[in-house]
Chain A
């Protein structure tokens, strides 16, 4: 796969005679990682620092959003009124460009890592809530009747039946959220005032693009890798946890 991309990349560059300004050689991008930055540090190190900063924001946001979404979904499963009152907004929020309020969150919470984590959290929270409450309700009625026949308490029904049954739905949401949380963190770093993270590196690299185009490509590459690693980490956990599931629901 990597080889195929490299071939298409360099092939396309040669075929359309694209200058390095539009599409740098792969080795130029690789070389950028070894270049020394203004502070005398190698870019490999600068990227690694910023990448881990962004990754940490995403991770905190992912955990925060995941837990909030879970709690809310369980609340919905318990109270029809809560569900009828709030779920329409959770669903409607998926139809509006919610990420547009990212700059406002930064205004409220400042430019520290916290505001980024919050943005990552709310991108995580929506799919988890929607999918999890769908999953908790998607229990086989016969299985529910059997639990009732065994005089199971509602807590037992939740943990022994509803929760396991909802896991495939949960993981489908978590996979989407994994990438979304990285996007949230990066977008949260865009507003003026942020100092660390891949969003900042990308904005700066874009400003200096005319001088060193490979820098932007490298920054984007690193950002993409964070997203891909997150996504596949969740997918790997999913395969272990819900290995019994025949069909993962498609969202």
Chain B
């Protein structure tokens, strides 16, 4: 019964929200170009399905590839940096501060460098996901307790053993937190980079151009597709996380 208590309010809010949305649109006879009712969006989704799937896959590919390269690079860089904690402590503040740079603004430059097609969007996603992954993984790798290090030293463990058996598994929870957050970030990066310019068959350009033509229902159905893909990506990473760290989830706290 705990499920009902935990999820009933959320489900109720969803249903009420949808009903209210429909009712408001109907009662005030709001023009569909301003705010289409949910059933109109669903209808439009059915009609434009093939276009949206093509655009969705195009943008999703950018997000996934960029995520894989950016996060992979971040993890690799963190592993290398963790070899020298002194060096790591010098670079860490700068990597953290990189969060203050609105990387998305680089999108038009990425087009100059990597072309208007997928390359430039992937590049932006790589930049956006690299630093958070690097910072979290590095913190995870370095946050092994001093006692743990003493214990390993007392067993005359090699650097390699220390890394593979202690540092790496110890860093996994923080690493995966970043990987999950970066999945969302990647989808945002891909769509919004396309706002700065991209081919017509992409989700971002589709949303921006239909919105500017007041084809609101098309824009909304595209946004829905973007959200669905974002969720899919997020939960795929969350699933990998569960498989990679069974010990972390048996506690039932997560």
Q: Footprint of B on A, CB under 8 Å?
A: 1, 21-22, 81, 84-86, 88-89, 92, 94-104, 106-108, 175-176, 178-179, 182-183, 186-187, 190-193, 198, 202-203, 205-206, 209, 213, 216-217, 220, 223-224, 226-228, 230-232, 250
Contacts and interface: CB of A to CB of B under 8 A. Distances in A.
B249 interface: no
A85 B211 contact: no
Contacts of B5: 84
Contacts of B195: 102-103, 187, 190-191
Nearest to A88: B10
B188 A89 contact: no
A11 to B, nearest CB: 18
Interface string B173-216: 00000000001100110111001110000011001100110101
A100 B224 CA distance: 9
Q: Is the interface of A mostly helix, strand, loop or mixed?
A: helix
A100 B234 contact: no
B100 interface: yes
B112 A85 contact: no
Interface stretch (B21-29, B76-84, B103-111, B157-165): B103-111
Interface of B: 5-10, 12-14, 33-35, 94, 97, 99-102, 104-106, 108-109, 111-113, 136, 139, 183-184, 187-188, 190-192, 195-197, 203-204, 207-208, 211-212, 214, 216, 219-220, 222-223, 226-227, 230-231, 234-235
B10 A107 contact: no
A78 to B, nearest CB: 15
A176 B197 CA distance: 26
Nearest to A94: B184
A226 B100 CA distance: 9
A1 B227 CA distance: 39
A97 B188 contact: yes
A104 B219 contact: yes
Contact of B102 (A88, A182, A232): A182
Contacts of B191: 97, 99-100
Nearest to A222: B105
17 contacts: A89-B14, A97-B187, A100-B203, A100-B222, A101-B223, A102-B192, A103-B212, A104-B211, A183-B104, A186-B105, A206-B108, A206-B111, A209-B108, A213-B112, A223-B102, A232-B100, A250-B139
